Structure 1
Amino acid sequence: MKTLKNDPPECTGNLLAMRDTLEILGGKWKLLILHYLMTRDKQVNTFKKMQREIIGISAKMLTKELKDLEANHLVLREQLDTRPVTVQYSITEYGRSTKELIENLVNWGTSHRIKLLHGTP
């Protein structure tokens, strides 16, 4: 990333950190999946259940996003010893580190909806 002559020294590092964060958590579904798993921590969260309850996500997209989240140690995939084989997903302790970020996004989104609804600048 290119820095301008007048940029503060920490600017490049901050921008790189933000880019890394968006790379890992960006897109339409990843934060929704993490929020889903975080709020259903004591439940068995199978692929089919998640696909049914996360409205609008396709099987292909859920598969891709779960693989990405697992690769980044945010989600744990466990194959249970059942017949037929059952796979369940849970949030990792590291994945829980996104809790405050997700709560802030929910709060901001709620405030934004209210602002738009009431038309205040």
Structure 2
Amino acid sequence: MRKETSSNAINRRQLRGDCGTAYTLSLIGGRWKASILWKLLDGRLRFNELKKSINGVSERVLALQLKELERDGLITRIVYPEVPPRVEYELTPLGLSMETMLRAISDWGVIHRQQPAALLPAITEN
């Protein structure tokens, strides 16, 4: 856990407060978060269904990313009082509001993933 008074934490809070892009990326910026959100666009899924549908994610990391997405209000965790307990995850209205953005990001990736980095236009700072 990072110290909340560190310059890193202060800079992060400042950037999240001043820049919409930085705020959005801070919510979906984990390695697997976009994949989790993408899978949940189709509806509720159980933990094991998510794990099987996202190649390469470990149980530990998936659980951590799900907790962060839930903390940030993008997904909800539904626990059914059964033995053994059944848990499902689904997008909240806030998470669902990201659908257009997630589809645009996906479309961009499909178009550009095959291009070598040398062929992509250079980004210059003003």
TM-score normalised by the shorter chain: which range applies? 0.7 to 0.9
State yes or no: 1:77 paired with 2:80. Answer: no
Partner of 1:8: none
TM-score by length of structure 2 reads: 0.74
1:1-57 deviations in Å (ceiling 9; x for gaps) = 99xxxxxxxxx8995322222211102111110000012x1xx51111211111111
Partner of 1:20: 23
TM-score by length of structure 1 reads: 0.76
Number of aligned positions between the proteins: 107
> Which runs of no fewer than 5 residues in structure 1 stay unpaired?
3-11
Partner of 1:89: 89
1:89-112 deviations in Å (ceiling 9; x for gaps) = 111111011111111111111110
Query: Which structure has more RCO (C-alpha within 8 Å, separation ≥ 6)?
Result: 1
**Superposition CA RMSD, Å:** 2.4
Partner of 1:67: 67
Fraction of identical pairs, as percent: 29
Relative to 1, partners in 2 of residues 1:99 and 1:85: Cα closer, same or farther, differing over 3 Å? same
> Which runs of no fewer than 5 residues in structure 2 stay unpaired?
1-9, 122-126
Where does structure 1 differ by over 3 angstroms across 4 or more consecutive aligned residues? 12-15
Question: Do the aligned residues in 1 keep the contact of 2:47 with 2:88 (CA within 8 Å)?
Answer: yes
Task: Report the 3-state secondary structure (helix = DSSP H, G, I; strand = E; otherwise coil) of the residue aligned with 1:87.
Answer: strand
